[in-house]
Chain A
Amino acid sequence: MSLLTIRNLSVTFATASGPFRAVDGVDMTIAPGEVVGIVGESGSGKSVAMLGLMGLLPDSATVTADVISFEGRDMLKMSNRERRKIIGKDIAMIFQEPIASLNPCFTAGYQIGEALKTHLGLDKKAARRRTIELLSQVGIPEPERRMTAYPHQLSGGMSQRVMIAMAIACEPKLLIADEPTTALDVTIQAQILDLLLDLQRERGMAMILITHDMGVIAETAERVVVQYAGQQVERQSVANLFETPRHPYTSALLAAMPERARGGRLPTIPGVVPGQGDRPTACLFNPRCPKADERCRTVVPPRQPAELGEALCHYPVGADPRPPEAIPPGFGPLSRQPLEGGARASTIAPEVPGDAR
């Protein structure tokens, strides 16, 4: 039985200029102990989808879904009180900005102990013992002393370790890591990622890793979901995805990886993820897609079968039914020319902290 099943999850924000659909029909099935990556540029709704699942979005957001079930329990029908018994206990989440994510008024120890007291009903003494244990598990030296530290006395990496300790405190079955390394120094990033994977393996805990970094996905995940403008444009195993990406967007993301770049200039994807005002018709990727033709602009693309990466595309890469001369030029693997006319380039640049909301 799957651990988590999501069908057709959508999130709509009420904004001053009308409703904005940030997440559009997301599906997801996670098996126990599995690591799934969600990848995409800033603004593709990766974080919003998971925050919606956790019920952490502001009141201006409306979350709808056909199915959200965790261990066979229907989370849509649960009261808030029942949901809170799962959230933070069986499903835990860590965030992009570890320092801002810890409450500045309480010690690290208090904030970890709070989760233990709430969900496991531990008394003060037992919570303290367990907190020390957790802190040493996440690689914090001198846990007794660090327990009494306030967040402003901790570095970014330390704060993320505390956040991880807090998240794993109640032995969750699923950990959602929302860009856990983005705000950290490069040297710390690898440490935190290793720590997460070690903990995941030791505990057999499932993990959803949200990232914009294809490299991180390659190292960690078994399956990957590529998200673009709130839609899942491709779903594949990691091995297949890196070998034969099916959606032109995935293909472009891979081409933009420094490790894969040949030649001098790193390829980029021209343009930016569409927002509320500039949402294209039919295929949402068509304005940035070198292969797009009239059909892409007028007909909503179908979901391709599993062997084509469940790509949301009329013309999946490597299975384009058009005769070669009909395919618009400039693709294959991706244009490497410098951008013309000052078009805005968006490499898969690091996300600006805080924009995930």
Chain B
Amino acid sequence: MFKFLLSRVAVLIPTFIGVSIVAFAFIRLLPGDPVQMLAGERVVSPERHAEIMHALGYDQPIIMQYLDYIWRLLHGDFGTSIVTKRGVIGEFFKLFPATLELSFCAIIFAVALGVPAGVFAAVKRGSWFDQTVMGAALVGYSMPIFWWGLLLIILFSGTWHLTPVSGRIDLLYFFPKGTGFMIYDAAVSGQKGALRSALSHLILPAIVLGTIPLAVIARQTRSAMLEVLGEDYVRTAKAKGLSRFRVVGIHALRNALIPVVTTIGLQVGVMMAGAILTETIFSWPGIGKWMVDSVFKRDYPVVQGGLLLIAMVIMFVNLVVDLLYGVINPRVRVR
């Protein structure tokens, strides 16, 4: 077990270096620099510009800048935002709960609907239900997130006035000592209507973010189930006189879940990308929106640090999935 973990961590190191190079290089490929962006329409004299760039260390050769950055990273220093002057790591942990809450709800939404839909579609293969589900999954998978988000806002917020347009909770509510997880904070605050407000803010972004994972999970579950339902051990389960629920829901699904769990893990990475769009559409104050804002402002340390931290989260999730894989599949269990 320990060996397995160690080997996984060893793989992380090159990945980490790769991500750091990409994050470092790509933001510098964009035209403009932080000083120009900060100045905006005000005119900065070339001398003043050079002076600030020097102070920030951005006049150094790029390779030196990179090595310097890595040196600081190794000492746990993720840098400081040029714009807000706040530490990147502190900012990340302040905003991350919002993204985590959103992603978690989105994945729950996707799994809770996708797995049963896939199972029923497989059991009723070729039926109208199967065809409807698979058709809808294809549409869901192909839909651009920003368009889908705007569509739902127009419908639910604009036309029907059922949900708020943006943010995490009404301005009426404020939790000074909050954990950052709005649903939890609202629930324990005891303030009337707080939880309801938090939930109504969360539901649309969660649906939008969960749509692609939902489509992928439904399709994957269906195909895994179809494969498993033809297996000899499913026939054995039927021959034992077990109920249809036990045959499909226990004997077949348990085996079909093995590839599905892998898919779910991979979808977490997709969701981090999706969160950038979703959070921007719904003004959700999470790390997706934070990243977009800092790219626009050429806030180099934030982009670099943020991407690294997101990469770490994704790698962590995949590690958890790998461990989970051993739990649900006895054949690969590590002893």
Binding site for B on A (CB under 8 A): 51, 54-56, 58, 80, 83-89, 92-93, 95, 97, 100-106, 114-115, 118-119, 150, 152, 163, 166
In this assembly, does B235 line the interface, its C-beta being within 8 Å of a C-beta of chain A?
yes
* Residues of A contacting B232 in the complex (Cβ-Cβ under 8 angstroms): 95, 97, 100-101
Q: Is the CB of B330 within 8 A of A150?
A: yes
Q: Does B231 contact A (CB under 8 A)?
A: yes
A163 to B240: give the CA distance in the assembly, Å: 11
A105 touches B237 (CB 8 A): no
Q: How far is the CB of B296 from chain A (nearest CB, A)?
A: 49
How far is the CB of A339 from the nearest CB of chain B, in Å?
A: 35
Determine whether the beta carbon of B254 is less than 8 Å from that of A118: no
Considering the chains assembled together, what is the distance between the CA atoms of A95 and B232 in angstroms?
Answer: 9
Contact with A along B207-235 (1 / 0, CB 8 A): 00000000000000000000000111101
**B36 contacts partner chain A, Cβ-Cβ < 8 Å:** no
Cβ-defined contact, A103 with B251, below 8 A: yes
Partner of B235, one of A95, A114, A152: A95
Q: Cα distance A337–B239 when bound, in Å?
A: 45
Residues of chain B within 8 A (CB-CB) of A115 are: 240-241
Per-position binary interface string of chain B over residues 109-152, scored 1 when its CB falls under 8 Å from any chain A CB and 0 otherwise: 00000000000000000000000000000000000000000000
Complex Cα–Cα for A240 and B79 (A): 93
Q: Are B241 and A103 in contact (CB under 8 A)?
A: no
Is B241 within 8 A of A118, CB to CB? yes
Apart from A92-B239, A95-B235, A101-B232, what 6 extra A-B contacts exist at CB < 8 Å?
Answer: A56-B235, A80-B244, A84-B242, A87-B238, A100-B232, A104-B330
Q: Mark B245-261, 1 if CB is under 8 A from A, else 0.
A: 01000010011000000
- State in angstroms the CA–CA spacing of A104 and B258 once bound together: 12
What distance in Å separates the Cβ of B327 from its nearest Cβ neighbour in chain A? 11
Interface membership of B65, Cβ < 8 A: no
Neighbouring A residues of B240 by C-beta, 8 Å: 87-88, 114-115, 118, 166
By beta carbon, the residue of chain A nearest B234 is A103
Q: Which of these, B233, B237, B330, contacts A100 with CB under 8 Å?
A: B233
Could you jot down 17 A-B contacts, CB within 8 Å?
A: A56-B239, A80-B244, A87-B238, A93-B239, A97-B232, A102-B233, A103-B251, A104-B233, A104-B329, A105-B330, A114-B242, A114-B246, A115-B241, A118-B242, A118-B243, A118-B246, A150-B330
Q: Is the CB of B235 within 8 A of A101?
A: yes
Nearest CB on B from A103, distance (A): 4
CB closest residue in chain A, given B257: A105
Say if the beta carbon of B328 comes within 8 Å of chain A: yes
B262 at the interface (CB under 8 A from A): no
Chain B residues close to A by CB (< 8 Å):
230-233, 235-244, 246, 251, 254-255, 328-331
Most chain B beta-carbon neighbours within 10 Å: one of A56, A83, A101, A163: A101
Q: Which 8 A-B residue pairings sit nearest by Cβ, starting from the closest?
A: A88-B241, A100-B232, A88-B240, A103-B233, A84-B241, A87-B241, A150-B330, A101-B232
**B236 and A105 contacting across the interface, CB-CB below 8 Å:** no
Closest-by-CB residue of A relative to B233 is: A103
In-complex Cβ contact of A101 among B236, B329, B331 (8 A): B236
In whole angstroms, what is the CA distance A84 to B246 when docked?
12
| Complexed CA–CA distance, A101 and B251 (Å) | 12
Which residue of B is nearest A176, CB measured?
B239
Contact status A103-B239, CB under 8 Å: no
Q: Given the interface contacts A103-B254, A150-B330, does A85 sit within 8 Å of B231 by beta carbon?
A: no
Contact A163 B243, CB 8 Å, known A103-B251, A103-B255, A104-B255: no
In the complex, are the beta carbons of B331 and A103 less than 8 A apart? Answer: no
Q: Give Cα distance in the complex from A103 to B258, angstroms.
A: 13
Residue in A92, A152, A163 whose CB lies within 8 Å of B330: A152
Q: With a CB–CB cut-off of 8 A, which chain A residues contact B243?
A: 84, 118
Residue on B nearest A95 in the bound complex, by CB? B232
Given A95-B235, A163-B236, CB of A104 within 8 Å of CB of B331: yes
What residues on B are CB-neighbors of A105 within 8 Å? 254-255, 328-330
User: Nearest-CB distance from A48 to chain B (Å)?
Assistant: 12
In the bound complex, residues from chain B placing their C-beta under 8 Å from that of A95 are: 232, 235-236, 239
A103 to B233, CA, bound (A): 5
Cβ–Cβ < 8 Å partners of A166 in chain B = 236, 240
- Report the minimal beta-carbon distance from B156 to chain A, rounded to whole angstroms: 40
Report the minimum CB–CB distance from B328 to chain A (whole Å).
Answer: 7
Q: Smallest distance from the beta carbon of A322 to chain B beta carbons, Å?
A: 46
With a cutoff of 8 Å between Cβ atoms, the chain A residues found around residue B236 in the complex are 95, 101-103, 163, 166
Instruction: Give the shortest distance, in Å, between A153 (CB) and chain B (any CB).
Output: 9
Say how far B89's CB is from chain A's closest CB, in angstroms. 41
Cβ contacts under 8 Å, B241 to chain A = 83-89, 115, 118-119
Residues of B close to A101: CB separation below 8 A: 232-233, 235-236
How far is it, in angstroms, between the C-alpha of A85 and the C-alpha of B241 when the chains are bound?
7
- Separation of A235 and B255 alpha carbons in the complex (Å): 42
Q: How far, in whole Å, are A93 and B238 apart by their CA atoms in the complex?
A: 10
Contacts of A93 in B (CB 8 A): 239
Complex contacts, B237 vs chain A, CB 8 Å: 103
> Which residues of chain A come closer than 8 Å to B242, judged between CB atoms?
84, 88, 114, 118
Across the interface, name the chain B residue whose C-beta is closest to A89: B241
Instruction: Tell me, rounded to whole Å, the shortest Cβ–Cβ distance linking B64 to chain A.
Output: 55
Q: How far is the CA of A110 from the CA of B49 in the complex (A)?
A: 73
Chain B residues with Cβ below 8 Å from A152 are 330-331
For residue B255, which residues in chain A have a CB less than 8 angstroms away from its CB? Answer: 103-105
The minimal Cβ–Cβ distance linking A149 to chain B, given in whole angstroms, is 10
Chain B positions within 8 Å of A56 at CB level: 235, 238-239
